[in-house]
Structure 1
Amino acid sequence: MRIDPEGHVTTPRGFRAGATYAGVKTYGEGKLDLAVLVSDAPCSAAAVYTRSRLHAPSIDINREKLAHRPARGVVVNAGVANASTGERGKRDGYELARLAAVHAGIAPEEMLVCSTGVIGHYLPMDRLASAMPAIELSADGGPAFARAIMTTDTRPKMGAVRFGPYHLGGCCKGSGMIHPNMATMLAFLATDAPVEQALLQRALSAVVDESFNLVSVDGDTSPSDTVLLFANGAAGGDRVDAHHPLAGDFVAALRALCVHLAREIARDGEGATKLIEFTVSGAATADDARALVRQLSTSYLLKSAIHGADPNWGRVAAVVGRSGVELDESAVTIDLCGTRVFEAGRPTEFDPIELSRRLHRAEVSVAVHLGVGTAAATGWGCDLSAEYVSINADYHT
């Protein structure tokens, strides 16, 4: 399916969004740091969250609300994560959601909340409350919403796709602390299709495992990782459940959009100069394939070699060997940028100068075949540069 990179979370009918600057974020492009997304009609809603044991209060708030009724919107602030902030943090999260709900004209129970930024700081509720009335909600507000949720991101990450007569749009943020376990990663998705809640949740959980859970910048998981998906049915039609003719198209559109957004996170990794696509095939199980993708994408030695365009494929072999996944050494193959560098237990003949030239490209690939099965997985990461160290050495101060 073709992704429109100019599409956004309010491309689907019946959604409005807007953003303003509340003085919470002191870094980043655009100086927007408070945003609201709302549906004009009741929604089905689905969510996937971080597995961090020290998760942010927003995770508990959203779980509690969605357990009782569907949500129609979300408020997001950037600059302060409101994580590791105890009972006060939870009270502040509920109050921020209430303020946004009043502004949007919906019930407080229908408004979810997400926060992203520095851990261990309380929300400046006075500033957020004062700024909320300045948010103008409109059907064209998706791009402003995408900008406002950014922290160290260098650009907004958006997209939309069509399936049948319907639209699915979304945005995400994430640049560092990215290794989702459902990176600081937040994603917000919306569709004007009347998708049944059970299908919505089942599809989102499966697609996240194939997209956001296979992207990594630095191996660190945040306490706030959240993916929210709203379906308001504003485009009409029969309810889309698992037996509907468009059910498969919906899942395919959701997968395409989430993969697009995951790739954009890796491409915009802190200090990154290259997007790396990792493919593992011939694995005994899907779990083995995904585990190896995640280990390859977090190897600092491999990420450093790719940053320097060094065709040292031994960095890949070392990760494969220590990964613990089942393999047949005589059948293992390794390819860098489409060049076979290892096969049948021994190195191949290749031109290292030409391969280094390919490794200088903005997008590079690493492919490993394990030779023991039919399972496969693809994930995304980025190179490791000195800029990454600089960004994170100065992030808090």
Structure 2
Amino acid sequence: MQNRTSGVARQRVMDALVVCASAALSVTVGIGASRGLLVYPRLTSLPTLTWPAGLLPLPVAGVGFYVLVPLSGSALLLWRGRAAVQVTVVLLIAATVGPLIPAALIALFTVAATRPDRTTWTLAGLALAPLPLSLVAQPSLTVHALTTAVTGAVLVAASVGWGFFVRGMHRAAEQTRVEAAWRTEQVRQREREALAREMHDVLAHRLSLLSVHAGALEVNQNATRAQVAEAAGVIRSSAYQAMEDLQQVLGVLRPPPQSNAAAEPEPPQPTLAELPLLVEQSRRTGMPIVLDAPADLRAVPGTSQRTAYRIVQECLTNAHKHAPGQGVRIRLQGAPGEGLTLDITNPLPPTTGRTGRPLPGSGSGLKGLSERTALMGGRLTHGSQGATHRVEAHLPWPA
């Protein structure tokens, strides 16, 4: 609400400035016309009586014709946003008898910038119509009349052309905004699909374990108490984990099934147990990395483990691209019921003495991981803090 109010206030200030500028230009054009300097043809003659003793360079009707008329005509520009066509028509007609061509050109610019092409060309034709009429009405073609007609045509063309340019810029900016929103949505959709596929497979595995152990109890009627207790424990654990996975998969849409039934199965997803191998691969490239990860993190739920692995992997990839040779510190900590916390930092590269061009990046990796983390009920933040780039994430770890 506050932003909307400030926007309205800024628009009002801008309108007032436009009206003042138009009035000043119109008065200047009127004074020039009183001395025979026309920039737009007049279809009526000007008063020629002057003040006594030449006190003012204006005609007798100067104050009303060359001051009040420009002010009142320019005030019509306050309605150019809601009634641009009507205001433009009135000002173009008035410009043929009074010094209102600056206000008319501003209104014509507004039409060109905000209205359809057909409307703009119609009003541009109306603005150009007085030019040949003024030449035909002359007893003989003079250089002054021809110069006035050419100047008027140039001003009308400049007003329409600038309006078209501004409209094109607005359209390009809007298209860029729509494309950016579409790309962001595509990233989110891909992450939703990947997370849904992953959790679907995990959930199917847990339910199959539950079904196998329940079936074993049903078939083995002579099972001992210890065997029954063991199978019941496995069933209880699998059911609890399946309920957790089901809560995460709700609201995440699975993509349509592949038409090719013979498609190769996806490779197994990595876990935190493979994190040291990932770090070691980056160390072999010469990147100094400090990994602080307790060994008891294997108790973290599978989905959180895979997401944590992907976050570390993306951070190392970004460090290779944008901060080569800089050290990376990776810290993982947490406990059941408190959640899993990741803190990954690396110094920003110096801005001077850099050789070569930086590797390009789409910027979609961390955005997708932020969406994936949010879908799991966690959070992820990233950005520069002084001379350090930091990525912080908190993932669920039920008690």
- Calculate the TM-score normalised by the size of structure 2: 0.20
Q: Higher relative contact order at CA 8 Å, sep ≥6: structure 1 or structure 2? A: 1
Whichever structure has more strand as a proportion of its residues is: 1
Whichever structure has more helix as a proportion of its residues is: 2
Larger Rg: 2
- Calculate the TM-score normalised by the size of structure 1: 0.21
